[in-house]
């Protein structure tokens, strides 16, 4: 997929600015959460910072609280949706091998099904 960092905006900025619609389930000063358009589990919510950080590689010390806050939101939503005790998965993909397609960091909050492990389809390791 295309790296959309040009101008530091992606379609997620448009969702924050209400320029394109989304099923928003949570919002505060620093974060927004909305349902994934192509859900991979019965519950699939994306939790994003309002600050557009492209990838995990671009997270700095200054972002520590903000990134931690995304997990606080995930935990709150798990209680609100009622799957905190049963369990869930929170994942952030990074770049091509990590499966990232939108270059504005986001937590995937996945629940409502028993997860598998490991989370990759191709078991052939790359030369690293």
Sheet hosting strand 107-111, strand order edge to edge: 24-27, 31-35, 43-49, 107-111, 89-91
Does 123 participate in catalysis according to the annotation?
no
Q: Is the dihedral of CA 29, 30, 31, 32 positive or negative?
A: positive
Nearer to ligand 5GP, 46 or 111 (CB): 46
Smallest separation, CB 104 to ligand 5GP (Å): 8
Q: Which residues pair with 32 in a beta bridge?
A: 27, 48
Nearer to ligand 5GP, 21 or 61 (CB): 21
Instruction: Report the interface residues with ligand 5GP, using CB under 6 A.
Output: 11, 22, 34-38, 46, 93, 99-102
Nearer to ligand 5GP, 61 or 113 (CB): 113
- Determine if the peptide bond prior to 118 is cis (ω within 30°): yes
Exactly one of 104, 106, 108, 123 is catalytic; which is it?
Answer: 106
Smallest separation, CB 23 to ligand 5GP (Å): 7
Task: Say how far apart CA 54 and CA 50 lie, in whole Å.
Answer: 12
Residues carrying an active site annotation:
106
């Amino acid at each position: 997929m295309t790296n959309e960092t040009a101008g530091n905006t992606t379609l997620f900025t448009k969702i924050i600015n209400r320029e394109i619609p989304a099923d928003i389930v949570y919002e505060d000063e620093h974060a927004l959460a909305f349902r994934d358009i192509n859900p991979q589990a019965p519950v699939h919510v994306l939790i994003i910072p309002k600050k557009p950080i492209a990838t995990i590689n671009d997270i700095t010390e200054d972002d520590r609280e903000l990134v931690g806050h995304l997990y606080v939101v995930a935990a709150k939503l798990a209680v609100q949706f009622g799957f905190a005790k049963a369990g869930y998965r929170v994942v952030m993909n990074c770049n091509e091998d990590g499966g990232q397609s939108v270059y504005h960091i986001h937590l995937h909050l996945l629940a409502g099904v028993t997860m598998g492990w490991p989370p990759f389809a191709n078991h052939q390791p790359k030369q690293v």
